[in-house]
């Protein structure tokens, strides 16, 4: 089985190898076939597709693994980025590994790495939190992260960004340096840097849109460390 990353915005980020693999696959598993059909049509790939998403993956993994075991070439893609990273894919990969089936993930797009590098915050060591729990366990996790020394990366929806920034002020401190990365690789990409308090005030007055990644500075500050300048 092939795990194939797809562009998070700009279609030019598709690799030659990814196009070839998808063109050779007997079956392409897509998180949303309507979304993926636009990408495949752009590259003139018209192979058979089937839905594979969080609502059906538990039922589908054994059946898909059986098809792979029978010799079919199956490629897994998500709507954007690398499958298995805050997207469906882990269950199928684990099932294939348990059955001794070959799995290869192609290198390719994912939002967290460009956001981390763009932020100007330390990128040598970091922790990826993905999406925080919406309700239960959210505050507990933020309390634990207050003492995290590495840079912290979150995915967040636009309608919960202000809530997250307010929580960062409460649990990590108003002066904690952050970067909100929005619409990475797309026409209206924005990387806005400042303290949690500054970003909270900005987005409180300017409701965000699009896909969002938030990068937060770890708690340890070396003496004399230069921080990114505020852009608010």
Would you place residue 228 in the very low, low, confident or very high pLDDT band (cuts 50, 70, 90)? Answer: low
| List of domains in the chain | 2-105 (3.40.1010.10), 112-216 (3.30.950.10)
Residue 214 backbone phi and psi in degrees, to 5: -115, 125
Q: What is the mean pLDDT of the chain?
A: 93
**Average pLDDT value for residue range 4-19:** 96
* Helices then strands, each counted (H, E), the chain: 8, 10
3-state helix, strand, coil in the chain (%, to 5): 35, 20, 45
pLDDT at residue 103, as a whole number = 97
β-bridge mates for residue 75, sequence order: 2, 28
Note the pLDDT tens digit of each residue in 178-226: 999 999 999 999 999 999 999 999 999 999 999 999 999 999 655 445 5
Note the pLDDT tens digit of each residue in 110-142: 999 999 999 999 999 999 999 999 989 999 999
Would you place residue 54 in the very low, low, confident or very high pLDDT band (cuts 50, 70, 90)? Answer: confident
Model pTM above 0.85:
yes
Mode of pairing for the β-strands spanning 27-30 and 74-77: parallel
**Average pLDDT value for residue range 156-180:** 97
In angstroms, the Cα distances linking 199 to 30, 37, 207, 222 are 35, 37, 11, 23
Spatial strand order in the sheet of 151-156: 126-131, 151-156, 212-216, 177-182, 190-195
Place of tokens 């795990």: 3
Answer whether residue 230 shows pLDDT above 80. Answer: no
pLDDT at residue 122, as a whole number = 95
Note the pLDDT tens digit of each residue in 92-106: 999 999 999 999 999
Q: By the 8 A CB rule, do 108 and 114 touch?
A: no
Exposure class string for 169-206: b at 16+ Cβ within 10 A, else e: bebbeeebbbbbbbbbbeeeeebbbbbbbbbbbbbeee
Percent residues over pLDDT 90 in the chain: 91
- Among candidates 168, 170, 171, 183, which has minimal Cα distance to 215? 168
Residue 83 CA to residue 92 CA, distance in Å, equals 10
């Amino acid at each position: 089985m092939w795990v194939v990353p797809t562009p998070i915005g700009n279609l030019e980020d598709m690799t030659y190898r990814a196009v070839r693999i998808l063109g050779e696959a007997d079956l392409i598993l897509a998180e949303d076939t309507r979304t993926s059909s636009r990408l495949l049509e752009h590259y003139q790939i018209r192979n058979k597709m089937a839905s594979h998403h969080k609502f059906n993956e538990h039922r589908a993994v054994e059946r898909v693994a059986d098809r792979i075991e029978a010799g079919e070439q199956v490629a897994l893609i998500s709507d954007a980025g690398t499958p298995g990273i805050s997207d469906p894919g882990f269950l199928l990969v684990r099932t294939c590994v348990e059955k001794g089936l070959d799995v290869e993930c192609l290198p390719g797009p994912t939002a967290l790495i460009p956001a981390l590098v763009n932020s100007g915050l330390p990128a040598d060591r970091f922790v990826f939190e993905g999406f925080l729990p919406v309700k239960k366990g959210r505050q507990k996790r933020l309390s634990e992260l207050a003492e995290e020394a590495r840079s912290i990366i979150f995915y967040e929806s636009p309608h919960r960004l202000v809530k997250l920034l307010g929580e960062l002020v409460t649990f990590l401190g108003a002066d904690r340096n952050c970067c909100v990365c929005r619409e990475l690789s797309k026409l209206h990409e924005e990387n806005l840097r400042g303290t949690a308090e500054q970003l909270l005030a900005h987005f409180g007055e300017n409701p965000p849109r699009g896909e969002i990644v938030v990068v937060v500075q770890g708690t340890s500050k070396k003496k004399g460390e230069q921080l990114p300048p505020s852009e608010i």
